[in-house]
Amino acid sequence: MSFTQEVKAELVAVPLEKECCARAELTALTRGASLLAVAGGKGFSLRYRTENPAVLRRILLLLRRTGAVQEKTRMLVEKRFGTRRLYLLALSHQDSRRVLTDQGMLVTTDEGEEVFRTPSRQVTRRACCRRAYIRGAFLASGFIAAPRRRYHAEWVLPDEAAARHLQRVMSHLGLAGKISRRRGQGIVYLKDGDEISELLKLMEAARAVLSFENDRAEKSLKADAIRAFNCDQGNLGRQLTAATRQTATIERISLARGLTALSDELEALARLRLANPEASLEELGQMLRPPLGKSGVQHRMRRLMKLAEEARDHTPGQ
């Protein structure tokens, strides 16, 4: 089961405590998961459609909770590619009109003409109703990528107007959704991990929040470990490069004048470096007697480098 499916499985079980929230959630589902089927002179029929049967049961529950359904509904199943199925819930003409009017999406003008509009703002006037609207929109057409892979949540809506309406509802709850287009559809999306976590909280997907945060923590730890490893590898590479350069310097001094010509402290460090080409400066300092700190070793190594330069300058042909 994908992370999106896990989230939706939890959302369809969220209790319907307030009728206003049930209406807001149903409105979002009507906007994102329904079609109007025109039946000649008989009017029109509202059809909800989804590939998730649990979401269809949620829609039917919402219709009953809001009292919008008074006549018999028809449930249909259409086979799609492979084993996929599309589940349909068709309302009668009267119930369809009742649902759309209740949601402020079907309005009769003063001239008696019926026109379709965006959902009434009264549907989402309360914070609890806005949360329910976002939940319904996600059940209709939402997607959240597995957090171990990337941070991405999106809603695929019928048009840009529906996308902008959802974006406004989200903004009232502190979610900065972005909008894009895809094959004539409106897309609202989030790409910030903190905002996606807050989205799950707002939709009341408590288990999904825990799962999301656990995956985020694991992803963060893994990223930190990789950065630390890369840093260590980089430091080791620089250390080995410096050690190679120091060894070459000491060998040049040995050939030019011999290590016994050096002072006791420089000779001791030079012989330790030749014997331990992979040791760090701190490790070389601990091998000296008496031990010496890193800065002291660096100072002596610079003196060796200077002697090597002087030896090269006095070498014939250089």
| 106 alpha carbon, distance to own chain's centre | 37
Which residues is 74 bridged to in the sheet? 90
What is the pLDDT, as a whole number, of residue 269?
85
Confidence at 73, pLDDT banded by 50, 70, 90: confident
Give the integer Cα–Cα distance in Å for 302 and 266.
10
Domain 3-204 belongs in CATH node 3.10.28.10: yes
Give the integer Cα–Cα distance in Å for 295 and 193.
44
Confidence at 97, pLDDT banded by 50, 70, 90: confident
Average pLDDT of every residue of the chain: 84
What is the pLDDT, as a whole number, of residue 40?
59
Mean of the pLDDT values across residues 295-309? Answer: 84
User: Domain extents for the chain?
Assistant: 3-204, 239-312
Mean of the pLDDT values across residues 299-312? Answer: 80
Mean of the pLDDT values across residues 249-266? Answer: 82
Map tokens 């119930």 to a residue: 95
Mean of the pLDDT values across residues 266-287? Answer: 85
What is the pLDDT, as a whole number, of residue 144?
94
Confidence at 8, pLDDT banded by 50, 70, 90: very high
Confidence at 175, pLDDT banded by 50, 70, 90: very high
Confidence at 240, pLDDT banded by 50, 70, 90: low
Would you say residue 315 has pLDDT above 60?
A: no
Mean of the pLDDT values across residues 34-56? Answer: 82
Report phi then psi at 68, rounded to 5.
-80, -20
Which residues is 86 bridged to in the sheet? 78
Mean of the pLDDT values across residues 79-88? Answer: 78
**Residues contacting residue 114 through CB under 8 Å, at least 6 positions apart:** 106, 107, 108
What is the pLDDT, as a whole number, of residue 313?
60
Least confident window among 200-204, 224-228, 293-297: 224-228
* Neighbour count for residue 239 (Cβ, 10 Å): 14
Tell me the CB-side half-sphere exposure of residue 304, using CA atoms within 13 A.
32
Percentage of the chain exceeding pLDDT 70: 89
Would you say residue 318 has pLDDT above 50?
A: no
pTM score of the predicted model: 0.68
Say what angle helices 19-32 and 53-65 make with each other, to 10 degrees.
130
Least confident window among 56-65, 183-192, 233-242: 233-242
